[in-house]
Amino acid sequence: MKDHPLIKKIGSLIRAHDGALTQDLVQHPGEFGLGKVPARLMPDDTTTTICGFCSTGCGLNVHLKNGEAINLTPTTDYPVNLGMACPKGWEALTPLRSADRATTPYLRNTSGTLEPVDWDTALQVFTVRFKAIQDQHGKESIAFLSTGQICTEEMALLGALAKFGMGMLHGDGNTRQCMATAVTAYKQSFGFDAPPYTYADFEESDVLVFVGSNLCIAHPIMWERVCRNKNNPEIIVVDPRKTETAMAATQHYAITPKSDLTLLYGLANILIASGWIDLDYIEKHTSGFEEFVRFVTRFTSDTVSAATGISVENLWRFADTIHRGKRVSFWWTMGVNQGHEATRTAQAIINLALMTGNLGRPGTGANSVTGQCNAMGSRLFSNTTNMLGGHDFLNEAHRKKVAAVLGIDVGCVPSQNSWAYDQIIDGIESDKIKGLWIIATNTSHSWINQRSFNELTKKLDFLVVQDMYYTTETAQRAHLVLPAAGWGEKEGTFINSERRHGLVKKVSRAPGQALSDFNIFKLVAQYWGCGDMFARWSSPEEAFQIMKELSRGQPCDITGIDDYLMLDRAGGVQWPWSGESTSANAGAVNEERALPGQERRLFEDGAYFHADARARFLFSEPCEAPEPVDDEYPFTLLTGRGTSSQWHTQTRTAKSAVLRKLYPENAYVEINPLDAERLGIASGTLVAVVSRRARVEASAFIAMTVQKGQVFMPMHYAVTNELTFPSFDPFSRQPNYKACAVRVEKA
């Protein structure tokens, strides 16, 4: 009776266990090694690519259907992320489908609104306007601001086109805002911009020191590697705030903001005075140590303790931990890079590694953790600060080499250095820069003391913004918007924090008329009239072959990488890789057509890139922060990453409904309960944060994790950079985002 079809039918009508709604969530084996996937999203193929957000450079396994991406999972076998990704990586495809994608060029019309135009019109206007400015104000009066977010091949073509084809002298990238300090520090100390490490070092240290790095939140997948460390390591975090990473540490030193340089010199002094240094390494591989010893003696524990707020006992504990470590690695991120004496701070970290012989061995290193997905590509190939391939504009031999590789007249290659980002903006103020081309960055949001830049854009005769979205704060100020295809809609390579070239593939169709940056640059070249000069740059992969030639003989030599297929097969390749058996190529698999080892570090032979092969001890007297607190502005404003689901100015992460759920919707300011009580501020109420530049409103969040006298605001909300004070490291010209003076009052 129970099995009668009619009874069954009635039964399932009364209690339905299946049906269309249930089927909606059914999973099927995805094959391709995927495990189960939603049945609706069954791939018919998969391919790997590299994530386009941060510099970790995670491998993502894109699920394809009819050649197009329908879903993704982290790549299990990729040597970087070992099957994991952060929320941004998981959601990487979503921002591509946003409704506010620029699908056509936009030109500002006479009534001041952006109006869709076709590519031909856009390119004609681009050429006519920029050339007119150059005719009137000189070739150098137009400049470009590039990015760490596009492919290396695209950066190289942009840099070559702008400087060699269009006659620009000044161009910089948003990497100035994140990595310039590390670049300068490494160049001066090691002789080349060369982060020495590989991610395996996270796993192999017995002591890890993080300075100004909230790795758990900013680089969760690097933190994954720390968690895989089997040595029960000491983890030391230097950060004014008790961050997620500080919570996970075994020792946290909550220093007074911007006292890191003093702290590091103090540690050096203790290590030297106690004989906890590697004299043999120092003697064989470094120079300048005696001067450094003399310099740091004045950093006694008492003075350092007074300046940093760290007790003498804890200073010694810190130094002792470094001393006891057999494999000590030092890591730094934006807390160091974005400071007023950032280069020397980074070098003070390098000095500690050098003097304790913690370089060139597994689990060691003075290691800068990069910001953007292709910051390293920008550092080596954007033709801004460095000439293509890590060359020097001031060096005649370099100019000749680059001109020869590109097959262009050496006369086209400028023999002067470019202005840095801040100098280009100053150039607008002084009427030296009249035209600006901004590519894949959001200056109107991210630039320090943002209001001043936004005012200055009104002085520009012509502002072109090339971006995926027409809605970015910067695009909204442009005269011309060029619609760019985004990550996933084009091919090319990124270079991650550990020097790994990884392959980015085209897995999604760009919307409307959007074109890859590479294709836009080709069109610009054609319309500008210098198309022939770049005829060899026919595709990203051809550009990669040019990059290989440019790198020949350089520390960043990649001539051993055959092509994209090899990159894909090898799981990315760290530079250098010339294919020959040199010490820098150590770890090579000894096969006929060898694939490089997947985890290779630099300086295993102790040979640095200076002519004498020695690393330098470099140092300066610490100086006071440029905007100290006073009675009127009694708080130090710290800025930084809010959550792992937010990326910089949020042009992409804000497009994912899921990511939006994972961070607070509105700007907030973290304030210590003692300060909040004194000011009569309740958690969750709206307060005003006031600096000498601006007064903005934010929601108060009372947290003991921020110290008394300090407040913290995430950088992702546009109001934050209305407050910041424009000061710059003198060597790297990187903006000092991390400390300015503010007051907090009831809104």
Partner 1 sequence: MPATQDFSESRTLIDDLLAEQQTMTAAAKFSRLHERHQLPAQARYYRDLIPLERPRDGEQYAFAVDLDGCTGCKACVTACHNLNGLDDDETWREVGVLFGGTVLEPVQQTVTTACHHCVDPACMNGCPVLAYEKDPVTGIVRHLDDQCIGCQYCILKCPYDVPKYSKKRGIVRKCDMCSSRLAVNEAPACVQACPNEAIRIEVVNKAEMVREAALGKFLPDSPDPAYTKPTTLYRTKRKFPANMQGGDYFHVKPEHSHPALVVMLVLTQLSVGAFGMAVLLRTVFSAPLVARFTPFHSLVALALGLLALGASTMHLGRPLYAWRAFVGLRTSWLSREIMAFGGFAALASLYAGSFWLSLFAKTAGLAIPGMWALPIAQRASGILVVFSGIIGIACSAMIYHDTQRKFWSDARTFLKFFGTAALLGPATILFTMTAQTLWFTTARHDPAFREICSLLAAAVLAVSAMKLAWELSIFVHLRDPEFSLMKRTALLMRGELKAITLARFIFAFMGGMALPLAVLLGMTEPAFALAVMPLCLLGELLERSLFFTAVIPPKMPGGVAA
- Of 724, 746, 723, the C-alpha closest to 736 is 724
Q: Please state, in angstroms and as integers, the Cα–Cα distance from residue 307 to each residue in 54, 344, 471, 581, 620, following that order.
A: 34, 17, 45, 49, 16
| 747 near partner 1, rule: CB under 8 A | no
- Least spacing, CB of residue 220 vs partner 1, in Å: 3
Based on CB atoms, which residue is closest to partner 1, 47 or 578?
47
- Which x/- pattern, by CB under 8 A, does the window 491-520 give for partner 1? x-----------x-xxx-xx--xxxx--x-
CB of 13 to partner 1, least distance (A): 8
Q: Is 708 in the site for partner 1 (CB under 8 A)?
A: yes
Amino acid found at 547: M
Q: How far is the CB of 350 from partner 1 (least distance, A)?
A: 27
Ordered alpha helix ranges (H), 511-563: 517-528, 540-551
Q: Show contacts with partner 1 in window 111-130 (CB under 8 A).
A: 119-120, 123-124, 127-128
CB of 393 to partner 1, least distance (A): 27
C-alpha distances out from residue 43 to 66, 565, 625, Å:
9, 22, 55
Q: Is 231 in the site for partner 1 (CB under 8 A)?
A: no
For the bound state, the minimum distance from the C-beta of residue 64 to partner 1, rounded and expressed in Å, comes to: 5
Under the binding rule (CB under 8 A), the answer on residue 305 touching partner 1 is no
Residue among 140, 234, 260, 489 that touches partner 1 (CB under 8 A): 489
Q: Does 182 bind partner 1 (CB under 8 A)?
A: no
CA distance 675 to 668: 16
Type of residue numbered 70: I
Q: Is the peptide bond before 622 cis (omega within 30 degrees of 0)?
A: no
Residue 509 or 610 having the CB closest to partner 1? 509
Based on CB atoms, which residue is closest to partner 1, 190 or 663?
663
Of the residues 103, 643, 694, 695, which one makes contact with partner 1 according to CB under 8 A: 643
Decide: 710 and 432 in contact? Cβ < 8 Å. no
Helix axis angle, 152-160 relative to 517-528, nearest 10°?
20
Nearer to partner 1 among residue 188 and residue 721 (C-beta): 721
113-152: buried (b, 16+ CB within 10 Å) or exposed (e) per residue?
A: ebebbebeebbebbbebbbebbeebeebbbbbbbbbbbbb
Q: Which residue has the tokens 């250095």?
A: 417
Under the binding rule (CB under 8 A), the answer on residue 606 touching partner 1 is no
565 binds partner 1 (CB under 8 A): yes
CB of 509 to partner 1, least distance (A): 6
Number of neighbours of residue 539 by Cβ within 10 angstroms: 14
What is the 8-class DSSP label of residue 321? H
Tell which one of 4, 8, 9, 26 touches partner 1 (CB under 8 A): 26
Among 451, 705, 718, 730, indicate the residue that binds partner 1 (CB under 8 A). Answer: 705
Tokens 């000061």 map to which residue? 727
Look up tokens 């099927």; give the residue.
28
CB atoms within 10 A of CB 639: 23
Helix ranges restricted to H, 356-430: 375-381, 396-406, 421-429
What is the per-residue binding string for partner 1 in 444-483, x denoting contact by CB under 8 A?
----------------------------------------
Give the footprint of partner 1 on residues 669-698 (CB under 8 A): 672-674, 682-684, 698
Closest approach of Cβ 314 to partner 1, in Å? 13
HEC sequence for 328-340: EEEEECHHHHCCC
**Piece of the chain touching partner 1 by CB under 8 A; list 351-359, 554-562, 666-674, 728-736:** 666-674
**Interacting residues of 275 by C-beta distance below 8 A, sequence separation 6+:** none
Q: Which two tokens stand for residue 134?
A: 């150059």
Among 85, 114, 373, 463, binds partner 1 (CB under 8 A): 85
- Binding-site string for partner 1 from residue 197 to residue 216, where x marks contact by CB under 8 A and - marks none: -------------------x
Distance, in Å, from the CA atom of 95 to the CA atom of 80, rounded to the nearest integer, reads 23
Q: How many residues bind partner 1 (CB under 8 A)?
A: 124
Alpha helices in 556-671 (DSSP H): 564-570, 657-661
Query: Does the protein bind partner 1 through residue 623 (CB under 8 A)?
Result: no
Q: 106, 126, 223, 487: which one contacts partner 1 (CB under 8 A)?
A: 223
- Six-digit token pair at 433? 């820069």
Give CA–CA dist 569/559, Å, rounded. 16
Span 513-552, contacts to partner 1 by CB under 8 A: 513-516, 519, 522-523, 526-529, 531
Residue numbers 365-394 binding partner 1 by CB under 8 A: none
Evaluate whether 499 touches 577 at the Cβ level (below 8 Å): no
Structure tokens at 219: 């680089």
91: contact with partner 1 by CB under 8 A? yes
For partner 1, the closer CB: 528 or 731? 528
Contact call for residue 15 and partner 1 (CB under 8 A): yes
Under the criterion CB under 8 A, does residue 257 sit at the interface with partner 1? no
Per the listing, tokens 């094959």 go with: 31
Q: Taking CB under 8 A as the criterion, which residues in 49-78 touch partner 1?
A: 49, 61-62, 64, 67-68, 71-74, 76-77
290 binds partner 1 (CB under 8 A): no
β-pair partners for 101: 469
Considering beta carbons, is residue 40 or 400 the nearer one to partner 1?
40
Q: Which residues contact 339 (CB under 8 A, 6 or more apart)?
A: 181, 212, 258, 260, 345, 729, 734, 736, 738, 739
Regarding 36 and contact with partner 1 (CB under 8 A), the answer is yes
564 near partner 1, judged by CB under 8 A: yes
CB of 480 to partner 1, least distance (A): 16
Asked whether position 34 contacts partner 1 by CB under 8 A, the answer is yes
Query: Residue length, the chain?
Result: 747
